[in-house]
């Protein structure tokens, strides 16, 4: 039986690898992206979610983009009801290793109303293992938000690569945040991957930083740059 799945897709590293997991299994995949009203959201990422429209084109997948008007776990999850009701999905797929309990609980409760499974494909891995897998999978990962002790303004816009992996692991150990960023410590956006047909190239960006909370995020504009045999043109 062909699985018809909705991948909750922020454009970040975890949801991008979750999308690849589904693609590799030949499932019928639709990306579902939700833009909340602010960084205070409980379930959804705020920065750069609008760029998922480009990511979906690069992945060659159908995409549903929804704006969420309210903040609060139940209110944020409720925006999925119309999407689930209209599309007859068999399952909803989430990225990460399953530490974002509030998100998983609310999404699972919403999915159950429509007879859908909730799948977290990398729940068997540790945060460190999944982050390493994402880097080894060739994801071009940009840090778009930081909101934890030890994560500073100068990290915004930086790439998470093998060199940055050790830095994040060291900072997470010292300051107590999850190395993968689960729980809102940091968020990301994937600009390119071996399985993208085009690169999402950042054309302009600015950093919005709150000195009081020592947190901030990137606002960016982007365009697609086509690739031929994995060479940018």
Q: Give tens-digit pLDDT for 40-73.
A: 999 999 999 999 999 999 999 999 999 999 999 9
**CB of 199 closer than 8 Å to CB of 191:** yes
Q: Classify residue 50 as exposed, middle or buried by CB count within 10 Å of its CB (0-12, 13-18, 19+).
A: middle
Q: Where are the alpha helices (DSSP H) in 116-229?
A: 127-136, 162-175
What is the structure's pLDDT at 1? 67
Please compute the mean of the pLDDT values over residues 171-199 and round it to a whole number.
Answer: 96
Among candidate residues 11, 198, 186, 218, the one with its CA nearest the CA of residue 95: 11
Q: Assign residue 60 a region: left if phi > 0, alpha if psi is -120 to 50, beta otherwise?
A: left
Residue 37: count of CB within 10 angstroms of its CB: 14
Phi, psi of 128 (to 5 degrees): -65, -40
Residue 109, token pair as written in the block: 């409760």
- pLDDT band of residue 232 (cuts 50, 70, 90) is low
Identify the bridge partners of residue 216 per DSSP, sorted by sequence position. 146, 209
Q: What percent of the chain clears pLDDT 70, i.e. is strictly above it?
A: 97
- pLDDT band of residue 230 (cuts 50, 70, 90) is low
Q: What is the CATH number of the domain that holds 126?
A: 3.40.50.620
- pLDDT band of residue 178 (cuts 50, 70, 90) is very high
Residue 30, token pair as written in the block: 């639709």
Q: Give tens-digit pLDDT for 75-130.
A: 999 999 999 999 999 999 999 998 889 999 999 999 999 999 999 999 999 999 99
- pLDDT band of residue 2 (cuts 50, 70, 90) is confident
Spell out the residues 6+ positions from residue 10 whose beta carbon is closer than 8 angstroms to its own.
Answer: 33, 44, 45, 49, 52, 187, 189
Residue 98, token pair as written in the block: 């399953």
Residue 93: count of CB within 10 angstroms of its CB: 26
What is the structure's pLDDT at 94? 97
Does the pLDDT at position 199 exceed 90? Answer: yes
Quick one: DSSP state of residue 204? E
Please compute the mean of the pLDDT values over residues 191-196 and round it to a whole number.
Answer: 98
Higher pLDDT, 227 or 65: 65
Say how many domains are in the chain: 1
Q: Give tens-digit pLDDT for 12-35.
A: 999 999 999 999 999 999 999 999
Please compute the mean of the pLDDT values over residues 152-166 and round it to a whole number.
Answer: 95
What is the structure's pLDDT at 228? 73
What is the structure's pLDDT at 231? 53
Among candidate residues 71, 57, 63, 60, the one with its CA nearest the CA of residue 7: 63
Does the pLDDT at position 39 exceed 60? Answer: yes
Question: Residue 89 sits in which domain range?
Answer: 4-232
């Amino acid at each position: 039986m062909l699985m018809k799945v909705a991948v909750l897709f922020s454009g970040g590293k975890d949801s991008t690898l979750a999308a690849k997991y589904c693609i590799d299994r030949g499932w019928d995949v639709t990306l579902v992206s939700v833009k909340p009203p602010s960084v205070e959201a409980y379930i959804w990422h705020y920065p750069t979610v609008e760029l998922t429209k480009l990511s979906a084109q690069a992945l060659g997948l159908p995409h549903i983009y929804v704006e969420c008007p309210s903040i609060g776990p139940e209110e944020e999850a409720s925006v999925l009801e119309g999407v689930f009701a209209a599309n007859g999905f068999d399952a909803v797929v989430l990225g990460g290793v399953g530490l974002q309990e509030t998100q998983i609980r609310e999404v699972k409760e919403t999915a159950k109303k429509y007879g859908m499974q909730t799948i977290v494909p990398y729940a068997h891995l540790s945060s460190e293992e999944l982050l390493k897998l994402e880097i080894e999978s060739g994801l071009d990962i940009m840090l778009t938000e930081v909101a934890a002790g030890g994560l500073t303004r100068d990290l915004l816009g930086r790439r998470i690569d093998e060199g940055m992996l050790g830095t994040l692991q060291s900072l997470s150990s010292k300051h107590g945040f999850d190395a993968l960023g689960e729980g809102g410590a940091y968020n990301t956006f994937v600009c390119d991957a071996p399985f993208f047909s085009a690169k999402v190239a950042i054309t302009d960006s600015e950093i919005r930083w709150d000195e009081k909370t020592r947190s901030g995020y990137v606002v960016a504009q982007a365009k697609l740059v086509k690739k031929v045999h994995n060479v940018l043109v």
